[in-house]
Amino acid sequence: MDSVTVFAPATVANLGPGFDVLGVAVEGMGDVVTARRLDGRAGVVVLEQVEGDGGRLPRDPTTNTAGIAARATLDLLGVEEAGVALALHKGLPLNSGLGSSGASAAAACWAVNALFGAPLSRTELLPAALEAEARVSGWHADNVAPALLGGFVLIHSYAPLDVIRLPVPEDLIFVLALPDCELPTQQARRVLPKTISLRDHVANSGHLAALVAGICTGNARLLGRAVQDQIVEPARASLIPGFARVKQAAIEAGALGCSISGAGPTLFAVTDDEATAQRVAEAMRAAFAEAGLTSHTHIGRVDREGARQIPPPSREETPD
């Protein structure tokens, strides 16, 4: 195989109480990476094309997340006879809280692995994707893991890296409200408390345990009720204009739970009903507008598959 094209989905990390340890992939939005084999150019990674980013991402493969992930994957594979050329198509907005860098990293890992016969499993590739995410965004796997593996993924431990795929409740629907502003993850991490009270730890432990119980038993109502966070959400709320108003609007419109997606500024809400999802999306968009922000919304079910091979872009879609 000379060339492989891979899609990796958007992700919602944290899901309220699961800071850095829980994330989920959501259908309908994502990044695409095409990897082409460069015979006779051992270990070389070339970033031939980046589009959909408004020219903002680095073109240097040693600082672009897809390039770093491809390099780390070649090392994991022990490929000595060839290099890879990459083309990255950004479908996800930058600094939006939807795991944009994680999706690029996951797509690059899976594409390079597939190019050389797919000897490694998704879990085995995760360290390569995490290495790329850590270099550009921070040492957290709650975006890259679901982008690569699909579904809900719990990071049980970082040292050693141990991730657990959770079952996906049948009827669960995510509503994403993306305001037209950006919040770099590193900025959103700077406002986090360095120490927390025992009381907050106990409260968040209970919420996270209940959230995982809701996911595992397919109980969307319990899941939604457990989307509560006394530690990270309060610290970040002021970075998102209209946060409290948008969250309240989602709940009043019937959402089972609502919080910040990843580091924000996107907010996510959960429901188990299509009509409610439409109402929640409209309520969240209107509430952002009241706070002076335009936004757009996306309704999607859980992406169970994660990174996967897709047909190559047609020639018409590929710019010269």
Considering only the stretches 82-90, 172-180, 182-190, 196-204, report the one whose residues sit in contact with ligand HSE under the rule CB under 6 A.
182-190
Binding of residue 20 to ligand HSE (CB under 6 A): yes
Binding of residue 143 to ligand HSE (CB under 6 A): yes
* Residue 185 designated active-site: yes
Binding of residue 305 to ligand HSE (CB under 6 A): no
Among 185, 204, 228, 297, binds ligand HSE (CB under 6 A): 185
Does the N-terminal peptide bond of residue 61 adopt cis geometry, omega within 30 degrees of 0? no
- Name the minimum Å distance from CB 98 to ligand HSE: 8
Binding of residue 104 to ligand HSE (CB under 6 A): no
Considering only the stretches 78-86, 140-148, 157-165, 291-299, report the one whose residues sit in contact with ligand HSE under the rule CB under 6 A.
140-148
| Cα 288 from Cα 227, distance rounded (Å) | 20
10 vs 74, beta carbon nearer ligand HSE: 10
Residues 6 or more apart whose Cβ sits within 8 Å of residue 282: 253, 297
| Cα 8 from Cα 145, distance rounded (Å) | 11
Binding of residue 92 to ligand HSE (CB under 6 A): no
- Name the minimum Å distance from CB 143 to ligand HSE: 5
Binding of residue 76 to ligand HSE (CB under 6 A): no
The residues annotated with a catalytic role in the active site are 133, 185
The residues that touch ligand HSE, with contacts defined as CB under 6 A, are 13-14, 19-20, 97, 99, 140, 142-143, 185, 188-189, 262-263
